[in-house]
Structure 1
Amino acid sequence: MVVCGDDGLARRLTAELRGVYGEQVVLVVPPGADTAGPPMVGPPRSASAALFDRVVNAAVGRAGANAAVPPPAPQRSYGERVLEAPAATEAVLAEAGVDRAAALALVYEDDETNIRAALTARRLNPRVRLVLRLYNRRLGQHIEELLDQAAALAAGDDELGLPDGSTTVLSDADTAAPALAATALTGTSRVVHTDGLMLRAVERAAPPEGAPGLCTLALLSLPDAADGSPDQRPRMLPDDDEVRQAGNRSRIVLEQVSARTSQTAGAGLGMGVVPPLTSLFSPRLRWSLAGLAGCVLALAVALWLVTGIHPLGAFYLTLLDLFAIDEPALGQSIGRQILQLLSGLTGLLLLPVLLAAVLEGLGTFRTVGALRKPPRGLGGHVVLLGLGKIGTRVLVRLRELDIPVVCVESGPEARGLAVARRLRVPVVLGDVTQEGVLESAKIHRASALLAVTSADTTNLEAALYARSLRPDLRVVLRLYDDDFATAVYRTLRAAHPQATTRSRSVTYLSAPAFAGAMLGRRVLGAFPVERRVLLFASVEVTGHPELEGHTLAEAFHPGGWRVLALEGYPDVPTNYVLRKGDRVVVAATRRGLAELG
């Protein structure tokens, strides 16, 4: 395996391939990049994590703050071989052994760099399995077709024998965004789509009794468990005995839903450029118009009662008086003359209101392309910090679920501002570490804070400040460093036991999907279970003795994998015997998916 990249995803992916799947990896990184780290769980303990521990220990008055910080973990190389090169040129790829490699992952942050290297690698070795990291999804579809076609034309389909999915285009943002969005919402489903099947994982205190087609994917850790006890770690894919003994322990359960549920979830999302009618006029102006309409109606009724003419005629004469185009009521009754004067006065009041409506409506259309400000009465929304690659994908995901969002972004040129403008999502421009920015985002009435900026310290500072304003606020942090995330999670949980605190790493969520693609597996999704990951993949039954000849219920290895359904046939009973040619959807841990081969 060859991995080329310039950020944390390359290091995490290399660790995944070596630590979980036991593959020989050549890592290509820019000169001076950090190539040392732990075998599989993440980067070495950072200085920020140690500093955080010391600050926390000093704040709670513990003696010997330095003693509470464990020594740094020993560092080791990620791969058998590390090459330093500024770019993945033809000479560098040849030196890395792409011509004889089984798979190549190009995970540079720049799309153009990955595409250029992929074209070169396909020319060097038409048989190599390519995995590209591209943010542009539409371009990725075209590139995937182009590279597969180039490989097929190199020697012909029959002679070449390309594996299924010889080119796979993935996005770390697309892989991690659903999990990040779901974590910020209570009761919101995490959904995996496959052919003819939609699966939804939800967190519950206990499974509903007698619910058909429901299985437990994981038992969550107990918040009050002692340090080092087994209950402090989640139990992945437990068997029936463990589930029965778990009692009321929170768990992740899986259920099957119809596609109609997902379609109706985002039905309320307005994607057009024309604002709704209610947003054209302010509430005060709408009440003014309603009051004048009521006055006109009352004048028409009074004229009908005074003169005895037909009601439609009375309404017509009232409008004529209102717009001062009727003749004076000379020689008529006193009541008619008084009503004419009142109608004229109402007409004078109507003119400025109509002018204000026209000006306000034109202003609304003129500013529809500008950034919106949070409405005054907004509440129950999600405050999203950061509109970079990850934040933009999370924003789209939240709006697909019809969740109200307020974004906070410090850079006026962020790529997600255009998406927020198109979705008409309120945005607060400012540094989140400055006082008053979160208040402008109505954090005191929000349901959750989702901090997904690229800086761990910025996310932490925003979370701490938000908790000072709302101690019960649900907080989701994007944190890269595992030790730092563990220290933050434990401290926030101890300080605010009634509030929900979660930390997620984008590279940790996306690396299993990239590794599975390099091994030729179709990874459908990755669900976070605290700081661990549960993978959903499509696996061919042929060649797997653990699956072939077993029923759907028997193809279950506790803690490793569990067969959920036969792909394309959601209604197959659990006593169906798997045979060659079948493809199943499995839920597996990273090591369990590696054992399936």
Structure 2
Amino acid sequence: MKPLIIVCGLNRVGYKILRLLRQQEALVVGISDRPIADDQGSNIIIGELHAASTLIEAGIQSAHTLVLSNSDEAQNLTILMQARVLNPQIRVVNRLFNSNLGDRLDRTLVDHVSMSVSALSAPVFAFTALGHEAIGQLRLFNQTWSIHEEYIDENHAWLGTKLSRLWEDRTRMLVYYLPADCENRHTDLVSAVTMGKELNVGDRLLIGTQPTMRSGQKSIKQRLAKLFSNFRHFQQHSRAVLLVAFALVLTILGATLTYTSFRYNISLIDSLYFSVGMITGAGGNSQIAEQAPDGIKVFTVIMMLVGTAVIGIWYALLNDFVLGTRFKQFINASRVPQQNHYIICGLGGVGTQTALLLMGYGHDVVVIERDPSSRFLNMANSLGIPVVQGDASIPATLKAAYLEKAEAIIAVTSNDTANLEIALNAKGMAPKVPAIVRYEDPKFAAMVRQVFDFEFVLSPSEIVAPSFAAAALGGKILGNGILGDTLWIALATLITPHHPFCGKLVKDAAMIADFVPLYIETNIETKNIKTGSQTIHGWDLLEFCLSNHDVLYLTIPANKLEYLWKSKVSKSSQAIAN
């Protein structure tokens, strides 16, 4: 019998997870606090999510996995504790925004997997901005690879290309294959590669693409342009301070020349010393004025009053520039890239993660955030992320972020209407700059893209639901995606003497279990002593014979995971997670 999975909280993400698990023919029950209008299925329990009676009715005591999909972290934690009281052995997939709390729970509780919507969806936004129409992500070689679908049509460059040729390319991973021919619909990728099958019209492939690192070094021309830009920003933000300072210098200079012309036996330095002391209030060499005629004394009084006013104004402006907001605005403005950069609107979880990914790949970014009290501002400043504070829907704010010369603008605030307004204004100002828009409701995301002709409109709930569904099915998940109605899962499995793949060639095991091998980590031994490890790829991978302690990285359809359960290798897969 298949293990029971309970999805608790049927919001957009939760209901999508439930539907995906149903498609994979998993034994699944949903819990909702209100009736689902579009679903009259008998496997949905209505009641208080954290109530023991509701969880018992859903079968919590015999369930294998509980998926907590609510956006309310406090409620998820309450349900988690109630579920562990009723079933201490249940495996929990917990949706948490707080990554630190999630990591601590993963270390403290056995069989607890924390997942974040922002962390899962941000790579897709980043890859999409870089020009890849990503539908998922894959974690390989300590890098996050983008997953996209290739549909072979009459004009596709790969039409007629042998799959074996694509298999040899180390910069991409063939993840899944769906032939158009109904007679060959059940042909697995490894069989197609070994038989030399060619790609035909209608065939579909899922491809993992290795991320490329952009050089962070800038040309001399770019550095000079940045220097002049910083100088202009300094002039803009310090104009008032400089003007008053100039007035102060003129006042001191006028007084110095007046005293020098009055008494020829007084040196220019003495006059300057007296003028500065008199105007600033510090005093010094006062006999110059005491021995002067009444006119000069009146002039001295006027200079004292004018100097006091000018000094007071200058000190106030300087204090505001250094300790107030102007100096901070100057620093932020000087850090804003001027060309070939990515503009991220919204410094939330998705925006922050997207900015970090793009910066990690060597690209320049700038974030626009309207909330000066955002809890992510300090983190952004500490990480060196330039931030323009203002409303991204206002043209002046977009201009301050140099929209016209940007590579793309990514609107990822938590408000769908605000994202739509930002993208429309950006398109009005710079029609050629691609716009990537976050829209929570997946039903309307496609319509928004069609009506307003945006390059990409992405729904986080649509992006992350497959990841939660894959995690619910078990094992350490390295990535996932959907091709047609099939959910595929990437995972790592440790080969043990009792593993069903032990002693088999990779290609033979792949044809039997319908999985796609990605690569193998194997030990190098000299005289029965481990001296290192190596990875096996390409054709060598298919001809490799699996043995004890090898780690096989593979992708497999979610509905074929039962093969691993029956073979009792799930513990081997989970060993990699620890």
* TM-score bin, normalised by smaller chain: 0.5 to 0.7
User: Helix, strand or coil for the counterpart of 2:332?
Assistant: coil
- In structure 2, relative to structure 1, the CA distance for the partners of 1:99 and 1:378 (3 Å cut) is same
Is 2:23 the partner of 1:96?
no
User: Helix, strand or coil for the counterpart of 1:408?
Assistant: strand
What is the identity percentage for the equivalent residue pairs of Structure 1 and Structure 2?
24
Q: What's the CA shift for 1:126?
A: 1.5
Q: Are the equivalent residues in 2 in contact too, given 1:14–1:78 (CA < 8 A)?
A: no
- In structure 2, relative to structure 1, the CA distance for the partners of 1:102 and 1:528 (3 Å cut) is closer
User: Helix, strand or coil for the counterpart of 1:169?
Assistant: strand
Structure 2: distance between partners of 1:202 and 1:119: 36
Gaps of 5+ in 2: 151-156, 219-225, 236-268, 274-314, 523-532, 566-578
Structure 1: distance between partners of 2:472 and 2:166: 40
- Could you report, residue by residue, the CA deviation over 1:313-359 in whole angstroms, capped at 9, with x for unpaired residues? xxxxxxxx9xx99xxxxxxxxxxxxxxxxxxxxxxxxxxxxx9xx99
Structure 1: distance between partners of 2:117 and 2:126: 14
State which of 502, 514, 535 in structure 2 corresponds to 1:571: 535
- In structure 2, relative to structure 1, the CA distance for the partners of 1:386 and 1:202 (3 Å cut) is same
| Alpha-carbon RMSD | 5.1
Structure 1: distance between partners of 2:320 and 2:482: 47
Gaps of 5+ in 1: 37-74, 149-165, 222-227, 269-276, 287-320, 326-354
Query: Partner letter of residue 31 of structure 2?
Result: V
Structure 1: distance between partners of 2:120 and 2:335: 32
- Match of 1:217? 174
- Match of 1:515? 469
Q: What's the CA shift for 1:80?
A: 0.3
State which of 27, 36, 43 in structure 2 corresponds to 1:80: 43
Q: Are the equivalent residues in 1 in contact too, given 2:234–2:330 (CA < 8 A)?
A: no
User: Helix, strand or coil for the counterpart of 2:431?
Assistant: coil
Query: Partner letter of residue 217 of structure 1?
Result: L
State which of 483, 486, 490 in structure 2 corresponds to 1:536: 490
Q: Are the equivalent residues in 2 in contact too, given 1:560–1:593 (CA < 8 A)?
A: no
- In structure 2, relative to structure 1, the CA distance for the partners of 1:106 and 1:479 (3 Å cut) is same
- In structure 2, relative to structure 1, the CA distance for the partners of 1:251 and 1:107 (3 Å cut) is closer
- Could you report, residue by residue, the CA deviation over 1:27-49 in whole angstroms, capped at 9, with x for unpaired residues? 2333x4x634xxxxxxxxxxxxx
Q: How does 1:441-452 map to 2 (within 5 A)?
A: 441-452=401-412
Q: Are the equivalent residues in 2 in contact too, given 1:197–1:570 (CA < 8 A)?
A: no
Query: Partner letter of residue 414 of structure 2?
Result: S
Q: How does 1:97-176 map to 2 (within 5 A)?
A: 97-148=59-110, 166-176=111-121
- Match of 1:177? 122
Q: Are the equivalent residues in 1 in contact too, given 2:492–2:554 (CA < 8 A)?
A: yes
- In structure 2, relative to structure 1, the CA distance for the partners of 1:28 and 1:377 (3 Å cut) is closer
State which of 454, 466, 470 in structure 1 corresponds to 2:430: 470
Greater Cα offset, 183-192 or 372-381: 183-192
- Match of 1:504? 458
Is 2:414 the partner of 1:454?
yes
Structure 1: distance between partners of 2:42 and 2:372: 40
- In structure 2, relative to structure 1, the CA distance for the partners of 1:370 and 1:399 (3 Å cut) is farther
State which of 377, 385, 390 in structure 1 corresponds to 2:350: 390
Q: What's the CA shift for 1:448?
A: 0.9
Where is the helix percentage greater, Structure 1 or Structure 2?
2
Structure 2: distance between partners of 1:467 and 1:84: 46
Query: Partner letter of residue 78 of structure 2?
Result: R
- In structure 2, relative to structure 1, the CA distance for the partners of 1:253 and 1:99 (3 Å cut) is closer
Q: What's the CA shift for 1:106?
A: 1.9
Query: Partner letter of residue 418 of structure 1?
Result: N
Q: Are the equivalent residues in 2 in contact too, given 1:191–1:201 (CA < 8 A)?
A: yes
Q: Are the equivalent residues in 2 in contact too, given 1:510–1:526 (CA < 8 A)?
A: no
Q: What's the CA shift for 1:362?
A: 5.2
Q: What's the CA shift for 1:567?
A: 4.5
Structure 2: distance between partners of 1:20 and 1:594: 11
Query: Partner letter of residue 119 of structure 2?
Result: D
Structure 2: distance between partners of 1:558 and 1:534: 16
Considering only CA atoms, is the larger Rg found in Structure 1 or Structure 2? 2
Structure 2: distance between partners of 1:560 and 1:523: 18
Instruction: Give the paired residue count.
Output: 443
- Match of 2:304? none
Structure 2: distance between partners of 1:236 and 1:502: 31
Q: What's the CA shift for 1:214?
A: 5.3
Greater Cα offset, 201-210 or 437-446: 201-210
Is 2:555 the partner of 1:587?
yes
- Could you report, residue by residue, the CA deviation over 1:345-386 in whole angstroms, capped at 9, with x for unpaired residues? xxxxxxxxxx9xx99995699955998347676111111122
Q: Are the equivalent residues in 2 in contact too, given 1:266–1:400 (CA < 8 A)?
A: no
Q: What's the CA shift for 1:174?
A: 1.4
- Could you report, residue by residue, the CA deviation over 1:196-242 in whole angstroms, capped at 9, with x for unpaired residues? 66574587976998965455537999xxxxxx999xxxx99694489
Q: What's the CA shift for 1:564?
A: 0.6
Q: What's the CA shift for 1:129?
A: 0.8
Q: Are the equivalent residues in 1 in contact too, given 2:122–2:353 (CA < 8 A)?
A: yes
Structure 2: distance between partners of 1:90 and 1:98: 9
Q: How does 1:323-338 map to 2 (within 5 A)?
A: none
Greater Cα offset, 181-190 or 408-417: 181-190
Structure 1: distance between partners of 2:40 and 2:177: 32
- Match of 1:35? 36
